[in-house]
Structure 1
Amino acid sequence: MHKVRADGRRNPTGKAFMSIDFVVATPHDAIEFNDVYRNVTGSAGYLACNNIYNRVVLNEWYDINPFPDLATHWEQLDGSRRWRFHLNQAARWQDGTPLTAHDIVYTHLHAKKMGYQGAMFLKDVETIVAVNDHTVDYVLHTPNSGFLVLLGNFIFAHVLPRHLYEGTDWATNPHNLSPVGSGPFRLAEWIPGEHIIMEAVKNHWGPQPEIDRLILKIVPDRDECVRMVARGEAHIVPQDTLTKDRLHLVQGAPGVEIMTREGPGMALLDFNHGRELWQDKRVRDAVAHAVNRDEIAQLGDPGVSQAWDHYLLGNSWAFNPDAKAPGHDVGRARALLDEAGVTADANGVRGRLTVYYMDMFHGHQPLAEIVARQLGEVGFEVTFAGLPSVDWAREVRTRHDFDLIIVGGSMAPDPEITATKYSTGGQNNMGLHRNPDVDAAYLAARRAGAQAERREHYQQLQAVWARDTEWVPLFWYGMYYPRSEKFFGWADQLGYSVPWWHWGRMRPVA
């Protein structure tokens, strides 16, 4: 008698099949599974959503060109003011309901109407139209030749099932906790604080997963996450769990490859431009002069990460080598503060500042320590703290209750994705930036057709950032991925045609 698995595959030897499990050790539990409503970047929910849902198109960090996801192909119409997407007609929700253009129209227009996370990159969208069940048009207020990277670069652009969300309050919809997606894995079990188990969707409309279960194990101790990979108990840890100081925990482990490369963005110091203190450029310049990158360089790893003083990454197609932050000069910093009237009291204190970073990004903690100490050298009394993602969303994104933040600046693969942070009215404009020359540079780049012309406008954007010290670049971070050699299908092995945190193409190595 042949043994038969739940998916119908038979074992001709008659022996029972072993379930093929792919295990991720992650320090941050999920809150829910609707990242279009609100996103908890880097959490287990973030990882799960990448495997439960689909986007219209896919862009990943290292490739400016989009790849198909729900859309098989697309057209750039009306001088980049209208984008038409032709959908895979086989696409289905995990409850068997066909996925159509109407799901896309509903998801993204409702997110835009309500100001939800999914609207972060939809500022240019005037409306979305279902041409028919399998064709959808995004109509923009203004031409935008970089629109594809906005639609495909982040998980906020996932598509939700209209038949389960329309007419409901997204905040309380039960499918936030029991998601029905269109992706290759369905949620099977979530025990908060312990694990999330996802099972492969049998007869999936897209590429069929070759692993049976995707298991996210919640392990708050980052060191232990890395040790689990070294011991073969997990196959990967998420971004920023393995940092340079933890490499010794996994180096030399049998069956483990450590993939390293320069990261797709930088850590930077941003000002709360809504506060009067930072509206004086002399004060912003003083902060920039206080930063000593020789100290920050000690956090680097040659060939992987480094202290950085430019306003875009050096490997970017739009890099402007002449746009640099002010250099370290404590004397000049003090003189500028005196000139701006930010003088010291009898105790030598010019003012008290709070610096926040998101604690999920553990590598920002040593940067916060260094920056706080360096600002102390020019007379500021600085307190710094890492905020959980929910507190970050409330205090930084919504209330803007901070002086300075250390935050990741995603600068790849296209500078257009930074507009949500630095253009006036951008949904992720935490620092309340409102620089008309910045807005003009973004607009000109959107309206340009050829990449060479877009480059000129983005180089001007960097020049404006540097001229006005809009923010202060600190560190070009690196990526460390300790990963099991028992599997093939990582993003870099597939030409970045899938996101880093999508494991639907994983297959065991014989």
Structure 2
Amino acid sequence: MMKRFLALLLALAALFCSGCMPLEPPNASQDEPQQSQPQEPTESAPAFDRLKIAYNSANPLEPYSASSTMNLNLIPLMYDPLVKLDQNYEVHKVLAEEIRMTGDQCIVTVRSGVTFSDGAPLTADDVVYSAQQVLAPGNSYSGLLSNVKEVAAVDSRTVQFTLNTPDRLFANLLTFPIVAQERPGVGSGRYVLAGSGENLHLEQNPLWYGGTGGRIKTIELINQLDQDTLIYSLKLGTINYVYSDLADNETATIGSSTQLVPLNNLVYLGVNSTKAVLADARMRKVLDLCLDRAGLAESAYAARALPAYTPFQPNFIEVQALDLTQPQDLTAAALLMEQLGYSAERKDAEGYYVIPGRGRFTLRLLVNAENSGRLQIATELQRTLREFGIELVIDSKKYEDYQNALTKWDFDLYLAEVKLYDNMDISRMLSPAEKLGFGVTENETLLAANAAFRSGAMGMEEFVQEFGRNLPFLPILYRSGTVSFSRGWYFESLATEQDIFYNIENW
């Protein structure tokens, strides 16, 4: 008994080791999914028509007042959005029947005949009210519609979004939950809240526009005030299904079957282009060619990440169409060094390139000391650059000091993570005037290309080529999250970051 208790403590200790930061949440790893199918119910196993999910009874189950991650995960079951995104970030219309983009306007036609779970019709006014909640500060969806200047109902089924700047991928942001204007606690989703007190549960919504739901008839809500004990509850079978964005360095297996969930979280190498040695885009390309992205995704993130050969999510359907890969190429990097005036024949006695009049070619890499994934990337990059002939000094700082150094641009290079919105907008990383433009120098050509790409005047491939000519930062990888079932449970879950129950009606 004591050995089992110690094993549990070690597993939980691994879970709790983390270093959180707004720009770059820490990483973690999970075991590969086991492709086992659920067994038929036995005397000791529950029926597979009842799923047990954690929630927080001290926090609301309404979209724009909920703050608990557990409760927010349940929102897509009860409140449908205008659209949902699949794992390739492709738009699928839900409450929207038609979406038209014209310049700086997005016109949405609401699906005909949809009702809320209480039978009241869902209208354009409800969509406008919901969008206004998103635009208000202090809710979990704030920022999603920051490019919206105005939203208004044209008629009972038509909503017009007017944007500050054109965005051809604006429809990717219409994933916010639609609530009834007069009754914000009522939605139109696949399930409805039932029961009372400690016996709250979700039942299939008989009025759902999509028709009859799948085999999961009832979802029991298990009160769990502490998010950190979810893994323990999953192992015990108290709950059956858990999502994790792997932001807390979880290392233990958290379920008998685990599946990856794509995240729009970019881990990248920032570059201080104001430093003379890094001002030339060719030198930034040297560093780019030294990156073994696939190897870093495998080693630093235990394959719970995807190598990023563009600044955009590799699963994004438009990125997949390009089929771009760039393997590490130290030979090509050495040729560029020759062009830049760094001769391999004039390396010092230890094999490092020499900067004329300054000595050894040395770069200082700033990294958050509380993030194990990026510390490992730093260590492996240091080893690679040592082999290539550049000395990399790792400057690891605690979170607050790291943030201060970023703000002061006190670095040559830095490792960070940023969560992008699902319209794939990297604008805030392309200019020193923007919040995330650390170390970036103004490049009018790239900014114009970005504006053209956002508006649809430039295609993905052309923009990626222009980005590659400038390289204001170096994409490395995109992290993944996981969904895990308790032992004895398994369904082919196509979970997404926006809806971990994406295809529950087909389980």
Work out whether 1:406 is the aligned partner of 2:406. no
Quote the residue 1:101 is aligned against.
Answer: 124
| Structure 2 CA distance for partners of 1:19 and 1:474, relative to 1, 3 Å | closer
Mapped partners of 1:272, 1:402: distance in 2? 11
The one-letter amino acid of 1:84's match is V
| Structure 2 CA distance for partners of 1:90 and 1:323, relative to 1, 3 Å | closer
Quote the residue 1:463 is aligned against.
Answer: 465
2:242 is paired with a residue whose SS is coil
Mapped partners of 1:287, 1:342: distance in 2? 20
After TM superposition, list the pairs within 5 Å mapping 1:245-260 onto structure 2: 250=255, 256-259=256-259
After TM superposition, list the pairs within 5 Å mapping 1:477-492 onto structure 2: 477=479, 480-483=482-485, 486=489, 490-491=493-494
Quote the residue 1:235 is aligned against.
Answer: 240
| Structure 2 CA distance for partners of 1:467 and 1:110, relative to 1, 3 Å | same
2:51 aligned to which of 19, 22, 33: 22
1:54 is paired with a residue whose SS is coil
Work out whether 1:56 is the aligned partner of 2:56. no
The one-letter amino acid of 1:103's match is D
Normalised to the residue count of structure 2, the TM-score between the two structures is 0.60
Work out whether 1:371 is the aligned partner of 2:378. yes
Mapped partners of 2:367, 2:433: distance in 1? 23
Task: Return the offset for 1:145.
Answer: 3.7
Task: Return the offset for 1:417.
Answer: 2.3
2:161 aligned to which of 129, 135, 138: 138
1:355 aligned to which of 368, 374, 389: 368
2:218 is paired with a residue whose SS is coil
The one-letter amino acid of 1:150's match is L
The one-letter amino acid of 1:158's match is P
The one-letter amino acid of 2:162's match is V
Superposed CA deviations along residues 63-94 of structure 1, whole A, max 9, x for unmatched, are 513221x33x1142647844222245543377
Structure 2 unaligned regions, length at least 5: 1-45, 343-351
**1:55–1:159 contact (8 Å) kept in structure 2:** yes
The one-letter amino acid of 1:134's match is R
Work out whether 1:150 is the aligned partner of 2:173. yes
Quote the residue 1:318 is aligned against.
Answer: 319
Task: Return the offset for 1:56.
Answer: 1.7
The one-letter amino acid of 1:57's match is V
Superposed CA deviations along residues 103-158 of structure 1, whole A, max 9, x for unmatched, are 33244346447597646443553422212333322234565443322323xxxx33
Mapped partners of 1:382, 1:33: distance in 2? 43
Quote the residue 1:46 is aligned against.
Answer: 72
Task: Return the offset for 1:445.
Answer: 3.6
Mapped partners of 2:445, 2:138: distance in 1? 25
Task: Return the offset for 1:462.
Answer: 1.8
**2:430–2:437 contact (8 Å) kept in structure 1:** no
Q: Which structure's relative contact order is higher, taking Cα pairs within 8 Å and 6+ residues apart?
A: 2
Max Rg structure: 2
1:418 is paired with a residue whose SS is coil
**1:23–1:216 contact (8 Å) kept in structure 2:** no
Mapped partners of 2:246, 2:485: distance in 1? 12
Identity of matched residues, %:
13
Superposed CA deviations along residues 378-425 of structure 1, whole A, max 9, x for unmatched, are 3434225679xxxx9xx79x989997453266698xxx4234654669
Superposed CA deviations along residues 347-403 of structure 1, whole A, max 9, x for unmatched, are x9965734388xxxxxx732333325645963434225679xxxx9xx79x989997
After TM superposition, list the pairs within 5 Å mapping 1:39-438 onto structure 2: 43-62=69-88, 64-68=90-94, 70-71=95-96, 73-76=97-100, 78=102, 81-87=105-111, 89-92=113-116, 99-109=122-132, 111-112=134-135, 118=141, 120-140=143-163, 144-152=167-175, 157-159=176-178, 162-163=181-182, 181-183=187-189, 184-186=191-193, 199-200=201-202, 205-206=207-208, 210-215=217-222, 217=224, 225=231, 229=234, 232-241=237-246, 250=255, 256-259=256-259, 263=262, 267-271=266-270, 280=279, 288=288, 291=291, 293=293, 296=296, 298-299=298-299, 307-312=307-312, 313=314, 316-319=317-320, 320=322, 324=326, 353-355=366-368, 365-371=372-378, 374=381, 378-383=391-396, 404-407=414-417, 416-419=423-426, 421-422=428-429, 429=436, 435-438=443-446
| Structure 2 CA distance for partners of 1:447 and 1:354, relative to 1, 3 Å | closer
Mapped partners of 1:130, 1:185: distance in 2? 27
Mapped partners of 2:112, 2:223: distance in 1? 29
Mapped partners of 1:341, 1:161: distance in 2? 69
Mapped partners of 1:202, 1:315: distance in 2? 32
**1:85–1:136 contact (8 Å) kept in structure 2:** yes
Structure 1 unaligned regions, length at least 5: 1-16, 166-178, 191-195, 251-255, 358-363, 449-453
| Structure 2 CA distance for partners of 1:34 and 1:465, relative to 1, 3 Å | farther
**2:144–2:421 contact (8 Å) kept in structure 1:** no
The one-letter amino acid of 1:101's match is A
Quote the residue 2:33 is aligned against.
Answer: none
Mapped partners of 2:354, 2:199: distance in 1? 58
| Structure 2 CA distance for partners of 1:341 and 1:215, relative to 1, 3 Å | farther
Mapped partners of 2:222, 2:364: distance in 1? 48
Mapped partners of 2:432, 2:418: distance in 1? 19
2:80 is paired with a residue whose SS is coil
Quote the residue 1:13 is aligned against.
Answer: none
1:51 is paired with a residue whose SS is helix
| Structure 2 CA distance for partners of 1:446 and 1:353, relative to 1, 3 Å | closer
2:424 is paired with a residue whose SS is helix
| Structure 2 CA distance for partners of 1:228 and 1:37, relative to 1, 3 Å | closer
